[in-house]
Amino acid sequence: MNICNYIMKKPSIFFFLLCITLHGFSQGELSSRTGFYTEELSPMPEPVSNNAAIGTEVDGYIFYYSFGGIDSTKTYSGIHNKCWKYNDYEDVWTALPPMPDSLGRIAAGVSVIDTIAYVIGGYHVFEDGQELSFDDVFRFDLKNDVWLENGTPIPVKIDDHVQVVYKDSLIYVVTGWSGSGFSGTNVANVQIYNPANDTWSVGTPVPNTNQYKAFGASGIIVEDTIYYFGGAKISGFNFLPANELRKGSINLEDPSIIDWSVMTTDHTAYRSLAWPLNEFTPGAPEDFIHWIGGSANTYNYDGIAYDGSGGVPARDSSLIYGRFQNAFEAFIGCGGWPEGIIDRMDLRTFIGYSNREYIIIAGGMEADQQVTGKTTKIFQTFCSSIDDTPSNLSLRVYPSPSAGNVYWVNTFQTPVTWVIYNMLGTPVLRMQTEGSGTQSAHMNNKAPGLYTLCGYDNSGLQIISTTFVIN
């Protein structure tokens, strides 16, 4: 008899815990190979590219935010200050107040600390082709959907930079482009913002070489190390695609001290997304960093190559860096990336949630530099050791812990009955699905603790289970 089936008929704490144990054992038999599956969500209100985007949890719900960008005209006049947010539970986009900027901007960065979004830098293009980098720090209250008083301006105006958060307290702005009029350059500056006291400090700059200085690179902080890859580097009068991965080890006693190093690869990536993933233990420090989307060549804001070769195509592959192997690896997945998912470029940060088990890509440029409003959710899964198809044993509930609603992806095409049990083995919620897709459950009024989600087929046989936490 399947233990989880027994729970369904006669719950008890003993069998509840045994079910969890057996479920964990079955997952341990899976290989570490990774696959991805996707879901198309409601499109954005209008196509947008080079927008600053991010996701976070607010009052138990997951929201995603888009700030500024360029519309489908891909002209200077299409650069705007429009903002939107997406409700992951309701699958709905709504308009937000525009950024407090009459010009509009592209290539800004955005980070969230607590419930405040910090939109930093970016640039505007004028009719005569001149450009202007910004020093603004816009602060947006995510709980009340209002703009607050601006933060202290960043000392060195910046756009197309790497913007990452350290220990939920400091925002690092690394390299990027700084310019005015027809002149500008990549800078080596590392500028550190402390939202708690609204001050900027100077971090150890990246080495003043074109191996490190770049615009259009993307990165992430994992534990105490900054990783950023690709972008555009200056070579004479050209902007070449960068093939360097730069690493900055942050001093634990003084976070302004950073030890920089670099390694070169056979790959390039311009305006791609950095997605850290752990393929073994959810919640532990990430083992791998995936750079997805972007392009292999560099281009201007309209998608046309700087080198005069014409329109730049979005790349159709992903780059994977193993932190512990200190090497890039070939992508070994369950059938590879779904067609049409990673061939999107002109992406600023990703609209990802903090558990990092999925991301949402909203907007960007697709084939032929077409600006899109598509909203696509990409999930990580595992492969079974038997075949190369995504294994349903990789079911995960997110966010966990959660203060309210929880979500999971059902990959079964056949009917499934879902039951959530509390720590006593008592069912607290029951629902049925008829096909695949994202599912959700209201847990706002449930007691804090460990819960188990079990799925059953039409015969009552348990076919999948996982655990999650309500706090």
Domain residue ranges of the chain, discontinuous segments joined by +:
3-30+394-470, 34-382
Strand partners, 346: none
Same fold, 3-30+394-470 and 34-382: no
Report the alpha-carbon distance of residue 49 to residue 47 in Å, rounded.
Answer: 7
Phi, psi of 106 (to 5 degrees): -125, 170
Residue from 5, 7, 2, 6 nearest 427 by CA: 7
356 vs 157: CA distance, rounded Å: 30
Residue 29 to residue 41: CA distance in whole angstroms: 33
- Specify the CATH number of the domain 34-382: 2.120.10.80
Tokens for 377, please give them.
């959710």
Amino acid at 470: I
Task: Enumerate the β-bridge partners of residue 295.
Answer: 270, 314
pLDDT along the chain (471 residues), means of 10: 38 33 29 57 96 89 93 97 93 97 95 96 97 98 98 98 96 97 95 98 98 96 95 94 97 98 91 75 63 92 96 82 78 45 74 59 91 85 40 67 85 88 88 86 88 88 86 86
Q: Give the C-alpha separation, 400 to 189, whole Å.
A: 37
Per the CB < 8 A criterion, the answer to whether 352 and 111 are in contact is no
Say which CATH architecture domain 3-30+394-470 belongs to: Sandwich (2.60)
Q: Looking at this protein, which amino acid is placed at residue 133?
A: S
Structure tokens at 418: 């879902």
36: alpha, beta or left? (left if phi > 0; alpha if psi -120 to 50): beta
Please report the pLDDT score of residue 37 as a whole number.
Answer: 67
Comparing CA positions, the residue from 290, 351, 352, 356 lying closest to residue 323 is 290
